[in-house]
Chain A
């Protein structure tokens, strides 16, 4: 289903050929950062609730 939209990258070759390295860095850092924050928040809240319930 996402293939037609993905093929649209050929219309953005100018942007991608210019900034592909920056984009990869942004995507990688942002994705890892977001996973770390999510997992930390989830575990912290779970422990907090567990402690409050005791």
Chain B
């Protein structure tokens, strides 16, 4: 017990505490999601956030203090963004075969994803800062945070909205496409990749490998395209 107390006093004085807590929370969350059979609503990232947040609130820890430790993980988002190019390179022959459907669906889907979020936010009279944070919600998290910052949204709010979007997409895609009896796995995969980034991709790979590959392509291209159109849409629509 004495050992534990000295370990605690050491850890709480250093950024290591929150780094350890973040990794620990993720391991617990991932294990929990696995035991539940990985349903789309039990997303490990969301579960980790739900585990960590009460701890921060109850220990009266400020977000900036937490972030001092957690920034080591946050930093990895940079390399992760570069890694987005990998599925594009791996699937270059597939992309060449259906380049026109891919590009057209990308332009239409990205524009609707960002445009409808802005339009609906206006319809519901949401504050400007929330609207700006909503616009990049269908993009993969590291890029979405960057876009949000660039258009003066709230990056931390964007992060939450991005994760929620991914979960909504992952839950709705299979029933939605089945109702419409769409059996084209390329199209199904591409759609969830444009609308629901990485969480949708993880889901698609579980449902069908072709859909999974197209989701990866869609997510990477969407990150690029959304970062181009959101600043323009924001200027037009607001």
A binding-site residues for B, Cβ under 8 Å: 1-12, 15-16, 19, 22-39, 41-43, 45-46, 49
Cβ–Cβ contact A30 & B113, under 8 A: yes
Cβ–Cβ < 8 Å partners of B124 in chain A: 19, 22, 25-26
Chain B residues, Cβ within 8 Å of A8:
63, 155-157, 159-160
Given A5-B141, A5-B159, 17 other A-B residues pairs in contact with their CB atoms under 8 A? A3-B26, A3-B45, A5-B156, A7-B53, A10-B56, A11-B63, A16-B160, A23-B161, A27-B168, A30-B165, A34-B191, A35-B194, A36-B176, A36-B191, A43-B101, A43-B184, A49-B100
Q: Counting CB contacts under 8 A, is B230 at the interface?
A: no
CA distance A43 to B190 in the complex (A): 11
The minimal Cβ–Cβ distance linking A33 to chain B, given in whole angstroms, is 5
- A6 engages B45 (CB within 8 Å): yes
A49 CB contacts on chain B under 8 angstroms: 100-101
Interface size class of B (residues with CB under 8 A): 35 or more
Main secondary structure of the interface of B (DSSP, over half): helix
**CB-CB < 8 A to B145: which residues of A?**
5
Chain A contact residues: helix, strand, loop or mixed: helix
Q: How far is the CB of B143 from chain A (nearest CB, A)?
A: 12
Contact B141 A2 (CB under 8 A): yes
A31 adjacent to B195 (CB under 8 Å)? yes
Closest to A26 in B: B120
Contacts of A22 in B (CB 8 A): 124, 126
B76 interfacial by beta-carbon distance below 8 Å: yes
* Interface bits B156-170 vs A (CB < 8 Å: 1, else 0): 110111111100110
